[in-house]
Structure 1
Amino acid sequence: MNVYDEAHKLTQAIRESEEYKQYQAAKEKIKGNTQLEQTLKDFKAKQISAQAKQMMEGQLDQEAMTQIQQLSMVLMQDPLAAEYLQCEIRFSMMINDVYQILSEVIDLGMGGALSGQQND
């Protein structure tokens, strides 16, 4: 079994998944709606910024979280935005699950070495 061939098969399986197809279809529906695209882009940027700040400082920025929640409520009122966000969440969850499965192998190879422990 060639790992690279299997990785390509995984890529193909992801492309054929309902989560991926629905996410791509939702992306196409909002394409060209520049105001909605910009609002979604701003929403994602605020999410990423808040997550990065939380990781670096170890605490949640309540003001940023309030802004994100308010923007989320506004977006969920728009049927296209709501559909897009829901599809994105489902797709992201699937990718996260795949990553978790892969990380089991990665952790086995790195866990002991990073902590100074030896694997027998």
Structure 2
Amino acid sequence: MNPYDHAHNLARALRESSEYKGLLEAKKKLEADPKNKEMLLDFRRCQWEMEKAKAFQKEIDEVTKRRMAQLAELVSANPTVQDYLMAEFRFGQVMADIQKILSEAVSEWFKAAAEFVVDNNE
């Protein structure tokens, strides 16, 4: 069997996995109430702003910290949003595990690619 056939089989297995089906079901429940979806989006926006500030080594202001704490409290008290986040985490873990397996299988390709990177400082 060629690699493309295996990839299609893997795609099918992912679609049929309990983790993916659980994610779709949790998403459906989340979207049934627009307030839940908006809460999650607010949480993610605030999370993104904090991550961006850290990446650029900027200090996170107190207003943003308080807002994040409030949003985290709201999210943790909402079972529908929590269920979605857990389903997302579980499926993300499956994807990360598969990525690791694939990366390890072709590790020589990564090594070769790293050897031939152009360094502008040389």
Q: Name the TM-score, length of structure 1 as normaliser.
A: 0.75
Q: Aligned in 2, Cα 1:11/1:42: closer, same or farther, shift over 3 Å?
A: same
Unaligned runs of 5+ in 1: none
Query: What percent of counterpart residues are identical?
Result: 31
Give the alignment of 1:48-87 within 5 angstroms: 48-55=48-55, 57=56, 61=60, 67-87=67-87
The alpha carbon displacement at 1:46 in A equals 3.1
User: Does 1:27 find its partner at 2:30?
Assistant: no
- Structure exhibiting the larger radius of gyration computed from Cα positions: 2
The residue number in structure 1 matching 2:91 is 91
Aligned residues: 116
Letter in 2 for 1:87: A
The residue number in structure 1 matching 2:5 is 5
Q: Deviations over 1:60-97 (max 9, x none)?
A: 85865664454222111111111111111111111111
Q: Name the TM-score, length of structure 2 as normaliser.
A: 0.74
The alpha carbon displacement at 1:12 in A equals 0.9
The residue number in structure 1 matching 2:104 is 104
Query: C-alpha distance in 2, partners of 1:105/1:66?
Result: 45
The alpha carbon displacement at 1:44 in A equals 2.3
CA RMSD of aligned residues (A): 2.7
The residue number in structure 1 matching 2:39 is 39
The alpha carbon displacement at 1:26 in A equals 0.6
Unaligned runs of 5+ in 2: 117-122
Runs of 4+ deviating beyond 4 Å: 58-67
